[in-house]
């Protein structure tokens, strides 16, 4: 099968031919480069209008016969997508071949899975308008974590525009960072979600205060990419996967790739980053996923092919995969265990949790996070216990390690023994701690232990807050972990919310609904 792919979500007017028999991909791209500032939607659309026909003609001149036409249906800039959609529909009709509408972000993921040969990897997508972590479960890709404000590339571009650099800013930051030294900047990870707004404001203020742009660029990379790597490791720990693929234009950054590779090596996991031409926006990935979809019969009628500027990857019912991920993977209850940021040693009725050094992080950043999180965990584990919510008793604290010795609780992680009643109990527990203005920060199905009772554990990301938004984010993290690990997650989610509503502030669930409707990654 030979599939023509067309990409034009934002800046790259691109066409490609993928031959399934040979595995060869031929790509022609005409990039939009603004004179100043970031991408201007009107100018980008004008570029697409002129460039899309020419790149299509160029690839068809080399490979004139195709069996299907695939196009990027979204997410992206509406005016650009409409031009691409019109071209794809026209070609499909004139050539009398099937039409395939591809989710651009899933194409970033699938090109890595296709080339790596991985079975069921977790995928970190790091691009201009997007930043999220995906894992495949029960027939679709689940959003394990995402940005709470803006995409990683757009965040970096905001800084580079502030210092007068032209688009794209990422490569310029990467070059400047080679001559910089580390400075402390905000680090915001909540469960497997992350935020860039605070760090961008701090970076701009640091430059305005006279700090060198090289130092700030270096610190930006060290902080932002450490956040992405930490979240990726949390995704591996939650799902039990030992495979990670990288997607998106920001993924071309060598420092980010090094961090991810270092993290995976330490975990005994495999890491794959496609070559740069498949990381930045390109039609090759559209053609490859389009071929898989066409082979499975996942095509669309021309009159039903409207573009979708906010097309989330977790909205796509995956037709091209017959396998399902084996999540959840049961956690061993004996011997040393390695979580996302700590090792657990079991000894009779106690466990010792030691936060291990992360060699992918800058030493100063790593030391700060390990110390701060150990103190927070000790303090808030005790505070939550005083509220009547079951948490492990703390036997000893060693800030030098840093390590905490806890009472050993439960028989398994909630992930491995999900029931409606246990999920309802988590709803009541979170409502109770939120009523005392405590936010867990990472209430996933791996951070709840179950047995004759249901315990909340791992308060390393916990903090005090009376913000309804923060309380709703706690609920959001828990529900997302249900979606990533449970086949009947919708029923479990409803039970969780019903219990929370009975015991807590209904305004939190109203805010949760707003959070889930934002589609923040786009």
Exposed, middle or buried: residue 469 (CB in 10 Å: 0-12, 13-18, 19+)?
Answer: middle
List phi, psi (to 5°) of 210. 105, 0
Q: Are 71 and 87 in contact (CB under 8 A)?
A: yes
Cis peptide before 75 (omega within 30 of 0): yes
Residues 6+ apart with CB under 8 A from 298: 100, 319, 320
List phi, psi (to 5°) of 190. -125, 100
Q: Where are the alpha helices (DSSP H) in 308-448?
A: 363-386, 420-435
Distance spanning both ends of the chain, measured CA to CA: 32
| Chain center to CA of 340 | 15
| Cα 98 from Cα 209, distance rounded (Å) | 57
Residue 204, number of CB atoms within 10 A of its CB: 16
Q: Are 214 and 206 in contact (CB under 8 A)?
A: no
For 404-422, the DSSP string reads EEEE---SEEGGGS--HHH
CA angle 367, 369, 373 (to 5 degrees): 125
Is residue 366 flagged as an active site residue? Answer: no
Q: Are 373 and 458 in contact (CB under 8 A)?
A: no
Residue 41, number of CB atoms within 10 A of its CB: 13
Q: Do the bridges between strand 122-126 and strand 243-247 make them parallel or antiparallel, or are there none, so unpaired?
A: parallel
Q: Are 195 and 186 in contact (CB under 8 A)?
A: no
Query: Which residue out of 298, 442, 458, 470 is catalytically annotated?
Result: 442
Side by side, the strands of the sheet bearing 270-272 are 140-146, 131-137, 122-126, 243-247, 270-272
* Best CA proximity match to 432, nearest among 393, 398, 385: 385
Give the CA-trace dihedral at 420, 233, 372, 217, to 10 degrees.
Answer: -140
| Cα 313 from Cα 315, distance rounded (Å) | 5
Catalytic residues: 442
């Amino acid at each position: 099968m030979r599939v023509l792919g067309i990409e034009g979500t934002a800046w790259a007017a691109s066409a490609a031919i993928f031959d399934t028999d040979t595995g060869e991909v031929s790509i022609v791209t005409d990039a939009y480069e603004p004179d100043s500032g970031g991408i201007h939607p009107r100018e980008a659309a004008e570029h697409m209008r002129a460039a899309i026909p020419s790149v299509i003609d160029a690839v068809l001149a080399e490979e004139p016969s195709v069996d299907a036409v695939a196009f990027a249906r979204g997410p992206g800039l509406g005016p650009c997508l409409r031009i691409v959609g019109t071209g794809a529909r026209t070609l499909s009709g004139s050539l009398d071949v099937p039409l395939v509408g591809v989710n651009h972000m899933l194409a970033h993921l699938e090109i890595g899975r296709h080339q790596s040969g991985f079975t069921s990897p977790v995928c970190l997508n790091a691009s201009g308008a997007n930043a999220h972590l995906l894992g495949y479960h029960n027939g679709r890709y689940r959003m394990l974590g995402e940005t709470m404000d803006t995409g990683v590339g757009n965040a970096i571009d905001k800084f580079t525009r502030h210092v007068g650099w032209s688009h794209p800013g990422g490569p310029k930051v990467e070059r400047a960072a080679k001559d910089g030294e580390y400075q402390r900047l905000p680090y915001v990870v909540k469960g497997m979600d992350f935020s860039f707004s605070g760090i961008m404001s701090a970076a701009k203020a640091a430059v305005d205060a006279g700090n060198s742009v090289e130092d700030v660029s270096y610190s930006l990379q060290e902080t932002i990419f450490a956040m992405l790597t930490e979240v990726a490791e949390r995704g591996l720990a939650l799902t039990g996967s030992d495979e990670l693929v990288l997607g998106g234009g920001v993924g071309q950054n060598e420092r980010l790739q090094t961090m991810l590779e270092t993290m995976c090596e330490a975990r005994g996991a495999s890491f794959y980053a496609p070559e740069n031409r498949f990381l930045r926006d390109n039609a090759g990935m559209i053609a490859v996923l389009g071929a898989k979809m066409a082979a499975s019969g996942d095509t669309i009628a021309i009159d039903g092919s409207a573009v979708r500027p906010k097309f989330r990857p977790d909205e796509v019912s995956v037709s091209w995969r017959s396998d399902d991920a084996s999540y959840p993977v049961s956690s061993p209850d004996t011997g040393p265990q390695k979580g996302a940021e700590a090792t657990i040693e079991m000894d009779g009725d106690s466990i010792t949790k030691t936060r291990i050094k992360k060699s992918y992080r800058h030493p100063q950043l790593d030391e700060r996070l390990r110390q701060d999180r150990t103190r927070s965990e000790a303090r808030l584990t005790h505070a939550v216990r005083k509220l009547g919510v079951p948490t492990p008793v703390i036997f000893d604290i060693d800030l030098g390690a840093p390590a905490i010795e806890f009472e050993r609780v439960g028989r398994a992680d909630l992930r491995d023994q999900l029931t409606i009643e246990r999920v309802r109990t988590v709803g009541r527990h979170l409502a109770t701690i939120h009523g005392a203005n405590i936010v867990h920060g990472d209430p996933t199905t791996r951070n709840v232990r179950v047995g004759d009772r249901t315990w909340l554990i791992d308060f390393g990301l916990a903090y005090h807050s009376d913000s309804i938004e923060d309380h709703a984010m706690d609920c959001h993290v828990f529900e997302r972990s249900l979606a990533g690990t449970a086949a009947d997650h919708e029923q479990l989610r409803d039970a969780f919310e019903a219990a929370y509503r009975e015991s807590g502030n209904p305004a939190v669930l109203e805010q949760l609904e707003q959070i889930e409707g934002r589609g923040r990654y786009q």
